[in-house]
Amino acid sequence: MATTGWWRGAVIYQVYPRSFRDTDGDGVGDLPGIIDKLEHIASLGVDGIWISPFFRSPMADFGYDISDYRDVDPLFGTLSDFDRLLAKAHSLGLKVMIDQVISHCSIEHEWFRESRQSRDNPKADWFVWADPKEDGTPPNNWMSIFGGVAWRWEPRREQYYLHNFLSTQADLNFHNPAVQAVTLDNIRFWLDKGVDGLRLDAINFCFHDRQLRDNPAKPKDKRVGRGFSPDNPYAYQYHYHNNTQPENVEFLEDLRNLLDRYDDVAALGEISSEDSLATTAEYVGESRLHMGYSFELLTDDFSVAYLRHTAERLETVMSDGWPCWAISNHDVVRAVSRWGNGDASPELAAQLVALVCSLRGSVCLYQGEELGLPEADVPYEALQDPYGKVFWPNFKGRDGCRTPMPWNDTGDAGFSSGTPWLPIPDAHRQQSVAVQEADPGSVLNRVRTFLHWRRTQPALCEGRTRFLDSDEPVLAFLRELEGEAMLVAFNLSPQPAEWTLPQGLQVVAENGHGLLSGEVVDGRLRLPGRGAYYARVA
């Protein structure tokens, strides 16, 4: 079977269905809405889309709590709508990846409904059940990412069940071969439909420590959260036992064997562990996942030192794997707000897209990044995210990055004829697709120009990376492939900066490709604030 590897160096556009486009007026986006706007996505110069969950669900965690893995929730449409979406995307040259949330499911799933009834039914061992301690307390000290202990009492069994996320998201017991088998069979269902890839949510959470050992305490100075609130007690532990177990690797190899039976499909794993880069390197490779991404670039640290250290370390530990990078998604503060320190300028927005798309690997861009949307300020009374409601006011949850996509500057922003499920900020209407289409210098048009140019540059898509010595705020590196090299440099500051080129490095054909560009004068690169520089090296 020939495998072309469409995913290597690909730019994948993440669609959060609830907030993309609503066609039936209920205020929630749907699959027909995605179909309606596929031309916009294709015009960007991306290679594919990743669609966040659209399966049947009670929506306690907005689709990441699945109650039927093989059907579309009526909120989003029908299986026929998905077939139409797939066909149209393919006609536009777009690959389609779908989310697979396999480590846990909704307590409304028929599997859990049966499992919770007794200790001896056919599904009794499909979830992680444990007896209480002698005093009735949970079996160990594991914590939930969404706050509080990770165990919920079930009176019918007189046992606790494990939930690493919401209490309505019960963890499946992957130590049971039947659970692994049905999971692979559900994935086969979507592969047979023709999807081009899978984004595997929380893939390192499939297995737990059989002995249910306590997680050790983490010193206060080490409680730095990635993707969760820093005041969350989840950060008080080293999570050595509730995820990232050795058995996970064997399951990933079984999954890869399934994927290899299909022509040119790919699996992208979301990985969050105590050492996510090391886990990514372990999980990605020829016999395991095609790609992996972690939360390392979803933090607040926007410095040359941190970006270089992160990329270089992954290059070092991942000898034969392929990384994927993301700086925004549906779970974190939007990058222009997180890294802009109050400067969510068009120049920064365009630069950030170029930066993440210039690292070695594939890229996930989140809807609205092409517009430079900042984080929305959602008032408490409009909050929908249960995570934010628990940790308010220290942490406002994830609603600020999930507000509806602005298609025009009208009252409903072209998103819905009804009341949107989250409010749309006035500032977002002024940065809408329609407004930016009319402005040649907009973030949207700069991003389009850059992404279309990037597709023509093999060194940027697949070349190896060699970082060059530079001081803050200039990040500089070479992308090299088959004897050709490209110099890439970014000024991470809003003020102008200069950098002395290494001795012997000569550049030709310099260009910013839609970005604020710099120039080399007498061996020194002069970069405007938020500037970028690309040049072939002679």
The domain 11-106+175-454 is placed in CATH, from the list 3.40.630.30, 3.20.20.80, 3.40.50.12160, 3.40.50.1360, at: 3.20.20.80
Q: Taking a C-beta distance cutoff of 8 angstroms, is the pair 468, 495 a contact? A: no
Q: Taking a C-beta distance cutoff of 8 angstroms, is the pair 283, 273 a contact? A: no
Q: Quick one: which H or E segment has residue 49? A: strand 48-51
| Bridge partner list, 291 | 268
pTM: predicted TM-score of the whole model, two decimal places: 0.97
Residues constituting the chain: 538
Closest by Cα among 538, 504, 502, 532 to 518: 532
Q: Is 312 a catalytic residue?
A: no
pLDDT score, position 226? 57
| Bridge partner list, 169 | 106
Catalytic hit among 30, 47, 201, 370: 201
| Bridge partner list, 499 | 525
Q: Which two three-digit tokens encode residue 474?
A: 């200039």
* Distance (Å, whole) CA 390 – CA 329: 21
List where CATH 3.20.20.80 sits in the chain.
11-106+175-454
Segment 368-406, tens digit of pLDDT: 999 999 999 999 999 999 999 999 988 899 999 999 999
> Between β-strands 324-325 and 362-366, what pairing exists: parallel, antiparallel or unpaired?
parallel
Backbone angles phi, psi at 379, to 5 degrees: -65, 155
Closest by Cα among 342, 301, 356 to 472: 301
* Distance (Å, whole) CA 401 – CA 382: 14
Q: Quick one: which H or E segment has residue 349? A: helix 346-356
List where CATH 2.60.40.1180 sits in the chain.
464-537
Segment 454-508, tens digit of pLDDT: 999 999 999 999 999 999 999 999 999 998 999 999 999 999 999 999 998 988 8
pLDDT score, position 475? 98
pLDDT score, position 229? 60
pLDDT score, position 1? 29
* Distance (Å, whole) CA 293 – CA 504: 35
* Beta-carbon-side half-sphere exposure of residue 425 (alpha carbons within 13 Å): 16
Residue reference for tokens 């697979």? 100
* Distance (Å, whole) CA 149 – CA 139: 11
Per-residue pLDDT of the chain (538 residues; tens, 9 = 90+): 234 699 999 999 999 999 999 999 999 999 999 999 999 999 999 999 999 999 999 999 999 999 999 999 999 999 999 999 999 999 999 999 999 999 999 999 999 999 999 999 999 999 999 999 999 999 999 999 999 999 999 999 999 999 999 999 999 999 999 999 999 999 999 999 999 999 999 999 999 999 999 999 999 888 875 555 667 899 999 999 999 999 999 999 999 999 999 999 999 999 999 999 999 999 999 999 999 999 999 999 999 999 999 999 998 888 778 999 999 999 999 999 999 988 899 999 999 999 999 999 999 999 999 999 999 999 999 999 999 999 998 889 999 999 999 999 999 999 999 999 999 999 999 999 999 999 999 999 999 999 999 999 999 999 999 999 999 999 999 999 998 999 999 999 999 999 999 998 988 877 767 787 888 999 999 999 999 999 999 8
Q: Is 247 a catalytic residue?
A: no
CATH number of this structure's domain 464-537: 2.60.40.1180
Catalytic hit among 22, 270, 282, 369: 270
Q: Taking a C-beta distance cutoff of 8 angstroms, is the pair 369, 326 a contact? A: no
pLDDT score, position 174? 98
Q: What does the angle CA 373 – CA 404 – CA 292 come to, to the nearest 5 degrees?
A: 70
